[in-house]
Structure 1
Amino acid sequence: MTLTLDPEVGAALQALVAQAGEPVPLAVGDVAGRREAMGQLFSVLGTLVPPAPEVTVESTSLQVDGAELELRMYRPAQPSGSAALYVHGGGMIGGSVEIYDPFLRSYVQASGVPLVAVEYRLAPEFPHPTPVEDCFAALRWLVDHAADLGADPERIGVIGDSAGGGLSAGLALLARDRGVPVARQILIHPMLDDRNTSPDPAIAPFAVWTYDDNITGWGSLLGDAAGGDDVPPSAAPARAGSLKGLAPAYVEVGQLDIFAEEDVTYARRLMAAGVATELHVHPGCPHGFEVFAPDSAVARRAVADRIRQLQLL
């Protein structure tokens, strides 16, 4: 069987290339080039998101190991009684709360669920465990300050996409082991396995996040340990020996995403461990399809599922 792009997604991708230009292939290890490309891409993609006038935004700071991290709180007009920590994507090396701002506002407006986003420190300047521990500190802050958002501390979830999805899965593992309540983990095309470095020839032509990108991201986070025997599950959740006792999970990925196999495997392991799990694999969709093709039918379905999951908190 020959894999093909969803027609609407393919048309949107062609339009984006016409507007922003063909992406320039970057060498493995070129972190600066990838950060610049992400910033330029999201500056275009953010304009595709409708405004969310009912959402109010407030920033505060969190001290972690002497560093001051921004926490940005997104509040709906009426509190839902729940809340979630959003962990942005960027391959462990890029992204920011600021470039995700339009998308976070949109989620809050549509769901009515407050979100708190954390400006976690990035690799390679801050390798593992700094990114996930920054996020865990933000999760603990959110549980402790849930009442300030009109939320029940027993109704706090974690949600993230790409690297943020992987960090969210790592957070769910840490929360289980450290006794912090997490009501739900919403993992959007999560980056879970540092061993995913051998290109699948069926997927590689459609890869928006490429295998070279993946090698760069994991190498930045883990250094020489990447792909070895001593990678902890909090860094690469696919390494976890046991998934028993984790929060209910939602796992979503496109069939043309290089993360598809690792994400489906993780979802199957969650189910085998007795964790309530919902899995969606979207045919014809590469990584991040809903961001560059927001008006496609498949993107509307995917975003509606995420909103529904937030509302289950």
Structure 2
Amino acid sequence: MNEWTHIIVSSVLFVVTLFAITKIGGKKQLAELSFFEYVSGITIGSIAGEVIMGLDGNLFHGVLAIVIFGSFTYLHDLIGIKSKKFRDFFEGKATVIIKDGKVMEENLKKEKYTIDELNSLLRQKNVFKTADVEFAVLEPKGDLSVLLKKEVLPLTAKDLNLPVAPEKESYTVIMDGNVLNDQLAAAGKTKGWLDIELTNLGVTLDNVFLGQVDSYGKLFIDTYDDQLQVPSPQPRKLLLAMLNKCQADLELFALATESSSTREMYNKNARKLQEAIQKLKPFLKE
């Protein structure tokens, strides 16, 4: 086997081997690595590179070494799932860095972090004052989890006891000018509905780069022509305005009639419609 053939065969063999080991390890290997997984990954990569470029190396020995290190990583994850003590030993524990706005200096020194590094981590969380932090924990992966004090948190609809409509996933129904029929059906829409919506927006299917339907059944599109201004459909606002007009008309009819029974009927239905509007308003607002 000449040098070029050796390099090609070695590269293909180790790519397949490393891919198989990574798949066995799961998505965690691609996301956040523990200290043990980090060391194991570097070692596996070094072994692969040495065997591929070391023309006198033994391919079987290289594959065996990678399988051994991959097995250690797999066993580490398997045992870690079942044993908290094992996880704490190999991956470490979370460390409280800030409590009640005060930096825990001893814990900071223990984790070998400087105040500049702490401030950098806080800025990544859009926090610029330690006094605004109620609680901050340095996770075993090296991430900083931050809980801000209640008085500096932005107000939410829950804080104000405001009802809001639930949000669900959006469906991509058009991609690169092609209709995705499965996604369109999942959104509860038809091709006919899509054609009508595109006509109302004044665009053709061929000019649509991306089209999505939100949880309210509203279509949003992005066209190939970035200079093209697409009007945004507002069916919910129109429906809310129509309901308000109907409610106002019922009150006017009640004022215009001379029959007491008819007036009571109009007023009763006006009240019912007003109650319905109040319940629907959070869902109909844009």
Q: TM-score range by the shorter chain?
A: under 0.3
Higher-Rg member (1/2): 2
More helix by share: 2
Instruction: Pick 1 or 2: higher relative contact order, CA cutoff 8 A, min separation 6.
Output: 1
